[in-house]
Amino acid sequence: MELVTACNTDSSMEIASVYQLLIENAMDAFFIAGPNGSILEANRAACDMFGYTEEEMKRIGWDKIIDYTAETLERLRAERKRTGKIKGELTGIRKNGKYFPVSFSSVILSGTSDEDQVVSVVIRDITERKQLEAELHANEQRFRALVENSMDMIMQVNAEREITYVSPATCRIMGMDAAELTGKRMKDLMHEEDVQRLLPGFERFLSEPGTTISSEYRVKIKDGSYLWVEGSVTNLLHLKGLESLVINQRDISEKKQREQELLKSNERFHYAAKATNDAIWDWDVESGTILRIGDGLKNLFGYDPVVASANPNFWTDSIHPDDLSRVLEKRNKVLYHSPNLYWDDEYRVVKADGKYAYIYDKGYIIRNPEGKPIRVIGATQNVSPRREAEALLLELNNRLKRRAEELAASNIELERFAYVASHDLQEPLRMVSSFLQLFKKKYHNQIDETADQYIHFAIDGAERMRKLILDLLEYSRVGSNREGFEETDLNKLLSEMVAFFNRLISDTGAVINIGPMPEIWANRTQISQLFQNLVGNAIKYSGDKTPEISISYTDEPEKYIFHVQDNGIGIDPVNFNKIFVIFQRLHSKRDYSGTGIGLAICKKIVEKHGGTIWVESEPGKGSRFSFSISKTL
């Protein structure tokens, strides 16, 4: 390329050569253009940029390498004519037909009209810059979309700490429009306590460009109340064009409320642990840490809960070696091989004084949605006193059992002795009675009245002795007969009893009323004897009245209660217990016969049937004997 200029001196020639060299090696396209859009000169960069040789450039002109309308051309020429130079952006056309963006500048070198003007044109390919600008614009659009649609509250604050921008979410959450917030100082929106707490750190932060700080604080909303937010502030005051603090705030009111609830819950848990004597523990299964709470561990076992919590092996180290494997196996089975929500066990642990104590350990298992245990909260009780009491009770039970066996054996011997003794006593008694009767019969006319009376007394005493022996024999049989229980129809049994008393009923005019009776599981013979004794007494102790007797029952869930009511002479309440004791009589033999064994036999029969017997009475107003028979024999 040759410069179109005149050089009259050697110095000018040297300068021209330097300019020639600079233009030829420039990175930008350099043109010398003549009138009517002709190209006079083009450097190497121009040829490379558009794809033409210099000779081709000179032939084709501007309209082949620059895309512009006549209107644009006129505007550019007018501006250059007015100022002597122009610059701007146009679209270039490569030889292969591709379009690309360019920036240009043009200066008039000579001439005053379009027909004689010579101008210089410098063109730069700005494709990369345009791409970057497009990307930047797209990024700005995306950023704006994110900010505008973010759920977080985003603000910009300038160096004077005034709010210059607020996102739509900020307006929505705080209940204010942008105009109300813009221009305010951030500290005016914050709770005074939080301002005082955060201000020192914030002042240091302002002197550290590019850093970010985060904190939790309260901001005032439209209605005057405060909202807890988590704020993140980035210091971009050093960035030219931005010079702002960017604040991103998130509403954490629900989180704070949960924290307060958790704090109250933990406080309740802490005081509950203080109130109980148990050793309370909280095991984080995933981390393996166990927090020991309250005074129970210290009071029961002598260990400091803080020291114990710091030792991850405290629990396993404390278990008696003989119990350890069993306890671990059971615990792991419940935790990892069952859906159970509770684990409990009893085992021995060593106390701080070296002695072992029996404990009862129970924990509630918290599982994740997959059923994996993540936390166990439990309590430990010292059950050594209970175990000692159980051991003592077992020993006492064993002693009682041995004593009961000894008593049972003794009772069997006593009952056997009573049976044998009463049986053997009857033989000589029969002999005495028989010979006295024979003596009376043979010598009836040979003895006086006094001797006859003596013989009568002897025979009567022998007869009463025989009756006493028979009753004693019957009393012993009640205790010895352990078998013979069967379904017993009391309606039939009581009908037979009435038939048994037919003669006595006929002699006394007694009236016996019997209501419907149940079937019971009982020893039929003994129950028959029980009713005979009670009804017989009711007839015997009727006094001057005609005996009236009623028999009834009530049905309860676990027992029957039977009642024998009479209209006889009655019993003084002070004698209620006495009448059921063997050989105890309330009347003389002259007034009422008997041995004092009948009601004792009744009591023994009732007790054998799992029941009790009692009486309700007043002198002269009759008596009501009641007894229960168990349904679960």
CATH topology assigned to domain 10-126: Beta-Lactamase (3.30.450)
> 417 vs 292, which has greater pLDDT?
292
- pLDDT value at 94 more than 90: yes
Q: How far, in Å, are 91, 130, 490 from residue 133 at the CA level?
A: 16, 5, 114
What is residue 423's predicted lDDT score, i.e. its pLDDT? 59
> 390 vs 372, which has greater pLDDT?
372
Residue 396 binned pLDDT confidence (cut-offs 50, 70, 90): confident
150-257: what CATH class?
Answer: alpha beta
Give tens-digit pLDDT for 535-553.
988 888 888 889 999 999 9
Name the helix (H) or strand (E) containing 630: strand 623-630
What is residue 528's predicted lDDT score, i.e. its pLDDT? 85
Sort 25 into a burial class: Cβ within 10 Å, 0-12 / 13-18 / 19+: exposed
Report yes or no: 622 and 565 within 8 Å, Cβ to Cβ: yes
For the chain, percent of residues with pLDDT exceeding 70: 81
| Arithmetic mean of pLDDT, 169-178 | 86
Buried b (16+ CB within 10 A) or exposed e, 211-235: eeeeeebbbeeeeeebbbbbbebbb
User: What's the CA angle centered on 464, arms 459 and 467, to 5 degrees?
Assistant: 130
Rg (alpha carbons) of the chain, rounded to whole number:
61
Q: Which two tokens stand for residue 13?
A: 């020639």
Give tens-digit pLDDT for 329-350.
999 999 999 999 999 999 999 9
- Phi, psi for 68 (deg, rounded to 5): -150, 155
Spans of all domains in the chain: 10-126, 150-257, 272-383, 388-461, 483-630
Residue 270 binned pLDDT confidence (cut-offs 50, 70, 90): low
Non-local CB neighbours of 300 within 8 Å, separated by 6+ positions: 277, 278, 279, 357, 380, 381, 382
Report yes or no: 571 and 615 within 8 Å, Cβ to Cβ: yes
Residue 268 binned pLDDT confidence (cut-offs 50, 70, 90): low
> How distant is the alpha carbon of residue 537 from its chain centre?
67
Among 236-250, 275-289, 386-400, 428-442, name the one with the lowest average pLDDT: 428-442
| Arithmetic mean of pLDDT, 229-241 | 85
Residue 92 binned pLDDT confidence (cut-offs 50, 70, 90): very high
Of 268-272, 452-456, 497-501, which one has max mean pLDDT?
Answer: 497-501
Non-local CB neighbours of 585 within 8 Å, separated by 6+ positions: 594, 596
What is residue 24's predicted lDDT score, i.e. its pLDDT? 79
Residue 8 binned pLDDT confidence (cut-offs 50, 70, 90): very low
What is residue 479's predicted lDDT score, i.e. its pLDDT? 54
Say if strands 548-556 and 511-514 run parallel, antiparallel, or are unpaired: parallel
Beta bridge partners of 105: 87, 122
- Note the residue count of the chain: 633
Buried b (16+ CB within 10 A) or exposed e, 321-359: eebeeebeeebeebbeeeeeeebeeebbbebeeeeebbb
> 79 vs 627, which has greater pLDDT?
627
- pLDDT value at 17 more than 80: no
Over the chain, what is the mean pLDDT?
Answer: 81
Helices and strands (H and E) in the chain: how many = 20, 23
Of 75-79, 205-209, 549-553, which one has max mean pLDDT?
Answer: 549-553
Q: 272-383 with 483-630: one CATH topology?
A: no
| DSSP assignment letter at 485 | E
Non-local CB neighbours of 433 within 8 Å, separated by 6+ positions: 459, 462, 463, 466
Cα separation of the two ends of the chain: 134
CATH, domain range 272-383: 3.30.450.20
Q: Give residue for tokens 């701080």.
A: 352
Q: Which two tokens stand for residue 155?
A: 């603000």
Single-letter amino acid, residue 318? S
Give tens-digit pLDDT for 293-309.
778 888 888 898 888 88
Q: Which two tokens stand for residue 506?
A: 């006929």
The yes or no reply on domain 483-630 and CATH 3.30.565.10 is yes
| Arithmetic mean of pLDDT, 410-414 | 64
- Phi, psi for 561 (deg, rounded to 5): -120, 120
What is residue 344's predicted lDDT score, i.e. its pLDDT? 92
- pLDDT value at 70 more than 70: no
- pLDDT value at 520 more than 80: yes
Of 32-36, 431-435, 544-548, which one has max mean pLDDT?
Answer: 544-548
For residues 167 and 154, what is the distance between their CA atoms, to the nearest angstrom? 5
Report yes or no: 524 and 484 within 8 Å, Cβ to Cβ: yes
For residues 302 and 271, what is the distance between their CA atoms, to the nearest angstrom? 20
